[in-house]
A and B are shown apart, each in its own frame.
Chain A
């Protein structure tokens, strides 16, 4: 008998083999579907709806709660911008924890999308001498100021450029997102990000069921898996509904401002036009849409 070693049969055999491997590994059909799922950006509306429905079911099973997972696209004519008043921030870290709760960040192992850097007033903005582990009785401390750092939502994001599988990209409203199902966990993006804003799930993420936020976006705060990268999305599940991000809402000193850069009447435009503004590591030409300003 002639041995059939055409390219077609090779592919057929290998896919059969991997399917049986998957089946042997105890995967159910859903997991196989998930494994073979396309990149979010090429999914049809129908496919998106199906995937989201099955996710909602899966989460319900796991957490015993009703979930709403949105895939709402960017609004027309909106480019999000953020501004943080360095003259006001007192380093209380309330934003860090509000962010973690809103966005279902793993508590143990701990992942936090916002880091608050304590810096010496005498040295100015100086990452090399900054400290994120400050822990005094009361803040602010004499002689120090605080620089909260999260994803800077660069217009020219180096993390997007280096991703070998296009699992991360910039949306039309300027938010850089990750398709957790497409991320292969190579962490190139983490190496490329000059702001330490991307975080890797080294272990199985863990959020207590009673604390999980059931209002989710596919590209944002839905539960992540072990082995994928995650980051701030300007609370995409909130901002695309017109709401302020959680960190803006919680900040007790009102240091955090958010809005549409294309709206000349927005708070953010007022700041850019009337205040002294800076971006971090400007020399790298990442063009952050996260601005720091002095409101004084």
Chain B
């Protein structure tokens, strides 16, 4: 388990380094655009909010169109073999009624889609989650569900739903606890 974690973190590191190098190549305008897009989630507009991280894609998977532009889309619900079977295996998110193309768009593979058919950037995935989890979205927007870091009276950073919940299997994963205290200091 430990080893696997280590491997994962190495992969993540590699991914973020790659991202950093890659984003260095983007022109400045584009970066600004990303930032402003990410700021408007607070409903009262009093505090500035910025995303801590980019959406957590699996390594080497995005943009999806890299592969999918060469494949004829098949909208039929089916068990996946060869590719994405790993996701199929863990998929546990109303799996009885839903599958890939309820959230991923059939034709525009680099986008998500809302129930209305409207396309959605991965950076705004919280809107997709909010279609069903409306009360969570409401709490998240005001910083009560999920985690805010930074300043209680100024700039705050937020995480997307998918940073803590794997959208394909959203239950929060169990953790190993830190060691118990060495002294008994009972509350009396």
Contact = CB atoms under 8 A, between A and B. Distances in A.
Interface of A: 90-94, 96-97, 109-110, 112, 115, 117, 127, 130, 132-140, 149, 194-196, 199, 239, 242-244, 248-249, 251-254, 257-260, 263, 265-267, 270-271, 274-275, 295
A244 B155 CA distance: 11
Classify chain B's interface size. 20 to 34
Most buried by A among B150, B177, B188: B177
B144 interface: yes
Contacts of A239: 152
Contact of B179 (A135, A199, A243, A259): A135
B181 A254 contact: no
Interface of B: 44, 46, 139, 142-154, 164, 172, 174-188
A242 B152 contact: yes
A243 B184 CA distance: 32
Main secondary structure of the interface of B (DSSP, over half): loop
Nearest to A138: B174
A243 B156 CA distance: 9
Contacts of B142: 267, 270
Contact of B181 (A94, A133, A266, A271): A133
B187 A195 contact: yes
A239 B152 CA distance: 8
A117 B172 contact: no
Given A244-B150, A257-B143, A134 B177 contact: yes
Given A138-B174, A239-B152, 5 more contacts: A92-B177, A135-B177, A248-B149, A251-B147, A274-B144
Contacts of A130: 187
A266 to B, nearest CB: 7
A244 B149 CA distance: 7
A295 B177 contact: no
Nearest to B143: A267
Contacts of B182: 110
Given A115-B187, A253-B164, A266 B175 contact: no
A243 B153 CA distance: 8
A295 B150 contact: no
B187 A90 contact: no
Contacts of B181: 96, 110, 112, 115, 132-133
Contacts of A265: 44, 46
Nearest to A146: B177
23 contacts: A91-B177, A92-B177, A115-B181, A132-B185, A134-B180, A135-B177, A137-B176, A138-B175, A194-B187, A196-B188, A242-B154, A244-B148, A244-B149, A251-B147, A252-B164, A259-B153, A263-B153, A267-B144, A270-B144, A271-B144, A275-B144, A295-B144, A295-B145
